[in-house]
């Protein structure tokens, strides 16, 4: 990964910075397109994972649709050339302003998350003499076997419509001709590595698809969301997730009618491995019980470890003094919070002030979560094109 030319570019840049491997991103997209077109699957990119302009441009050029979770994300997707008829809009708390933004652009579909939201969209359509395509986001009560903060498909989560409310949703849709039911939507969580979870999801999708068909609503789209995990342990060996296996599961287990389309919303699996947070060692502090490597990057640049104990591989990119010995460090940031820690008891070659460190697999939910806490400076970037 860290070839001499990349290292020299990084050495000349101000840290902390996000390094994006656009070559890997393009390869990942090519793989997605090749493996999804076999089954005529439609893939949307979940902008919330990374909305860096250069990243968005490449994804848009590849022809993917956009999965947005705010009005601003819809505007950003449109600005970056995503086709409005390939934009979907999810989120439990859509405001009037955001719904109007989506109506103005006539996006492909609202992924509706509550009965009340359905009523508000119906009302806003009437007031604005327009129509809206609707997919009902069903909470299928499937355990994603992932961290509880990124599980979304259980009854106890705030996401989606609980299944006992679906008859009421159908009543509202039947009463309001400005609402067009076009799909069923599911998204059960993120960083899912146990692929059996997706088989369980398919079983639930089939159940609900039949339920709607029996009531005279054969929807055009079954949207199964995203959530495919990446390998945080081996970012180089497994740089591209196994999309072929992932799509094959849905092809095998989903019972789609001939006219039904299958849609996906992938975020992390598209952009996760193409980004690294690059940082310099500011100080080495040898404590009584621990050695601390204090970096110039902190939770303000990459929040995931502090927010949900996420693991990111930490490695040295360039050391200035070559010693053979290895040391155990707690790798921490400069922010005034004890949770500002990238890794505890990390074994690394002996570090010194000024050495360059990479925190890998930071392309998804990294840059987008950057904070200004402690009045941190804006991020810097290096791109491998
Ligand atoms: C976050 C999100 C996604 C993308 O999830 P990944 O785990 O990044 O693939 C897809 N759909 C919805 C509704 C989301 O909220």
* pLDDT single digits (tens) 84-97: 999 999 999 999 99
255/250 Cα distance (integer angstroms): 9
Does residue 316 contact residue 348 with C-beta atoms inside 8 Å? Answer: yes
Domain boundary among 272, 300, 319: 272
Instruction: Tell me: do 368 and 231 sit in the same domain.
Output: no
167/181 Cα distance (integer angstroms): 13
Instruction: Tell me: do 85 and 221 sit in the same domain.
Output: yes
Tokens of residue 316, six digits:
């040295």
What values do phi and psi take at 25, rounded to 5?
-60, -45
Answer yes or no: is the C-beta of 227 below 6 A from any ligand 1 atom. Answer: yes
pLDDT score of 374: 97
Residue 16 maps to a domain:
no
Question: What range does the domain containing 343 cover?
Answer: 273-384
Domain boundary among 272, 307, 329: 272
Residue 240 maps to a domain:
yes
Instruction: Tell me: do 284 and 262 sit in the same domain.
Output: no
276/161 Cα distance (integer angstroms): 36
Residue 87 maps to a domain:
yes
CATH number of the domain where residue 350 is located: 2.40.37.10
Answer yes or no: is the C-beta of 355 below 6 A from any ligand 1 atom. Answer: no
What values do phi and psi take at 201, rounded to 5?
-60, -45
| Three-state DSSP state, 118 | helix
Cis peptide before 17 (omega within 30 of 0): no
Answer yes or no: is the C-beta of 91 below 6 A from any ligand 1 atom. Answer: no
CA of 187 to the centre of ligand 1 (A): 7
Answer yes or no: is the C-beta of 197 below 6 A from any ligand 1 atom. Answer: no
* pLDDT single digits (tens) 133-152: 999 999 988 877 777 766 67
CATH number of the domain where residue 157 is located: 3.20.20.10
CA of 350 to the centre of ligand 1 (A): 39
138/111 Cα distance (integer angstroms): 9
Answer yes or no: is the C-beta of 272 below 6 A from any ligand 1 atom. Answer: no
Mean of pLDDT over the chain: 96
Answer yes or no: is the C-beta of 153 below 6 A from any ligand 1 atom. Answer: no
Instruction: Tell me: do 268 and 280 sit in the same domain.
Output: no
Instruction: Tell me: do 356 and 280 sit in the same domain.
Output: yes
Question: Of the residues 47, 157, 226, which should be mutated to test ligand 1's pocket, given the most ligand atoms within 8 Å of the CB?
Answer: 226
CA of 349 to the centre of ligand 1 (A): 36
Domain boundary among 228, 244, 272: 272
Write the DSSP string, 129-146.
T--EEEEEEB-------S
CA of 31 to the centre of ligand 1 (A): 19
* pLDDT single digits (tens) 354-374: 999 999 999 999 999 999 999
Answer yes or no: is the C-beta of 226 below 6 A from any ligand 1 atom. Answer: yes
Number of separate domains in the chain: 2
Answer yes or no: is the C-beta of 48 below 6 A from any ligand 1 atom. Answer: yes
User: How much is the pTM?
Assistant: 0.96
Q: How confident is the model at residue 153 (pLDDT cuts 50, 70, 90)?
A: low
378/376 Cα distance (integer angstroms): 7
Instruction: Tell me: do 282 and 207 sit in the same domain.
Output: no
């Amino acid at each position: 990964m860290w070839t001499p030319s990349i290292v020299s570019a990084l050495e000349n840049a101000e840290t902390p910075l996000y390094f994006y491997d656009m070559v890997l991103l393009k390869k990942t997209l090519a793989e997605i397109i090749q493996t999804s077109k076999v089954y005529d699957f439609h893939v949307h990119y979940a902008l919330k994972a990374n909305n860096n302009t250069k990243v968005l441009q490449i994804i848009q050029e590849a022809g993917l649709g956009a999965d947005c979770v705010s009005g601003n994300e819809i505007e950003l997707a449109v600005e970056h050339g995503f086709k409005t008829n390939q934009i979907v809009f999810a989120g439990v708390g859509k405001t009037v302003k955001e719904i109007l933004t989506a109506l103005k652009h006539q996006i492909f579909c609202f992924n509706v998350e509550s009965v009340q939201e359905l009523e508000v969209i119906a009302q806003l359509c009437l007031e604005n003499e327009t129509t809206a395509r609707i997919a009902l986001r069903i909470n299928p009560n499937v355990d994603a076997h992932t961290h509880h903060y990124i599980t979304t498909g259980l009854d106890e989560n705030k996401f989606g419509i609980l299944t006992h409310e679906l008859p009421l949703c159908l009543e509202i849709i039947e009463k309001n001709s400005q609402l067009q039911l076009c799909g069923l939507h599911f998204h059960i969580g993120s960083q899912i590595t146990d692929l059996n979870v997706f088989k369980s999801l398919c079983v639930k999708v089939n159940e609900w698809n039949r339920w709607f068909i029996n009531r005279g609503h054969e929807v055009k789209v079954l949207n199964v969301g995203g959530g495919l995990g990446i390998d945080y342990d081996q970012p180089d060996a497994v740089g591209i997730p196994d999309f072929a296996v992932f799509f094959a599961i849905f092809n095998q287990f989903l019972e789609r009618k001939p006219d039904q389309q299958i849609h996906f919303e992938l975020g992390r699996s598209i952009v996760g491995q193409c980004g690294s947070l690059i940082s310099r060692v500011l100080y080495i502090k040898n404590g009584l019980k621990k050695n601390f490597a204090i970096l110039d990057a902190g939770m303000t640049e990459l929040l995931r470890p502090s927010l949900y104990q996420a693991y990111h591989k930490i490695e040295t990119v360039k050391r200035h003094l070559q010693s053979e010995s290895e040391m155990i460090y707690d790798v921490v940031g400069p922010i005034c919070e004890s949770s500002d820690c990238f890794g505890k008891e990390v074994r690394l070659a002996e570090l010194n002030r000024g050495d360059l460190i990479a925190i890998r697999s930071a392309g998804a939910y990294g840059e987008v979560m950057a904070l200004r806490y402690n009045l941190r400076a804006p991020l810097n970037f290096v791109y491998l094109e």
